[in-house]
């Protein structure tokens, strides 16, 4: 339910709808499709074909190629939104996705940092920017903790990897918002 692809699909839809109504929702759909929908499809095809062991890519050696594909799609989405005149908040939302990949992607080459908690942590920071911050942070932090706990419980990550992911995603989002938002 809270897999990175699901959050990456949902976040721009929420950001667009909250900040710009129906038109924002349409911009969010473009971002969601390029940044989350297509990557989710690539993962599904990769699992079915045997390229990936599972949809969580628990074998870290399978991640670099996928991170590169996702980064290319996010750059394409960012360029498309900027050229077509999308609302600034939507462009910033996609820039946050690229910043998170830029931080977490290289780390995953040497250490199995949690993309689940990175995307969740960044989503909380972004939502707190456009919605009432206190309730978003209260509910969001609890949700990120539960996601981190679940990743450790099923032994896909250590608690340190889950915590590092949350910190990296939250920090990448905060810095991007400070620079562009």
Residues 47-89: pLDDT tens digits?
Answer: 999 999 988 787 878 888 888 999 999 999 999 999 999 999 9
Residue-wise pLDDT tens digits, 123-132: 999 999 999 9
pLDDT 10s digits, 12-47: 999 999 999 999 999 999 999 999 999 999 999 999
Closest alpha carbon to 3 in 68, 58, 53, 46: 58
pLDDT reported for residue 34 = 96
pLDDT (0 to 100) of residue 159: 98
pTM of structure: 0.93
- The tokens of 166 are what? 């949350």
Quote the CA–CA distance of 70 and 82 in Å, as a whole number.
18
Q: How confident is the model at residue 109 (pLDDT cuts 50, 70, 90)?
A: confident
**Counting Cβ atoms within 10 Å, is residue 50 exposed (0-12), middle (13-18) or buried (19+)?**
exposed
Q: At 115, list the tokens.
A: 């993309």
Q: At what angle do helices 115-130 and 88-108 cross, to 10 degrees?
A: 160
Q: So what's the pLDDT on residue 6?
A: 94
């Amino acid at each position: 339910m809270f897999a990175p692809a699901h959050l990456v699909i949902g976040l721009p839809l929420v950001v667009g709808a909250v900040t710009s109504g129906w038109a924002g929702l349409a911009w969010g759909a473009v971002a969601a499709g390029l940044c989350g929908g297509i990557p989710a499809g690539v993962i599904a095809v990769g699992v079915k074909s045997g390229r990936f062991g599972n949809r969580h890519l628990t074998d870290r050696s399978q991640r670099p190629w996928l991170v590169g594909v996702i980064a290319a799609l996010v750059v394409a989405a960012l360029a498309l939104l900027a050229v077509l005149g999308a609302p600034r908040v939507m462009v910033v939302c996609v820039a946050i996705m690229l910043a998170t990949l830029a931080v977490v992607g290289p780390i995953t080459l040497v250490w199995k940092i949690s993309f689940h908690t990175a995307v969740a942590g960044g989503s909380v920071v972004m939502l707190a920017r456009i919605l009432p911050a206190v309730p978003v942070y209260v509910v969001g932090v609890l949700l990120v903790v539960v996601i981190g706990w679940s990743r450790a419980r099923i032994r896909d990550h250590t608690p340190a990897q889950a915590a590092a992911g949350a910190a990296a995603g939250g920090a990448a989002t905060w810095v991007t918002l400070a620079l562009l938002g």
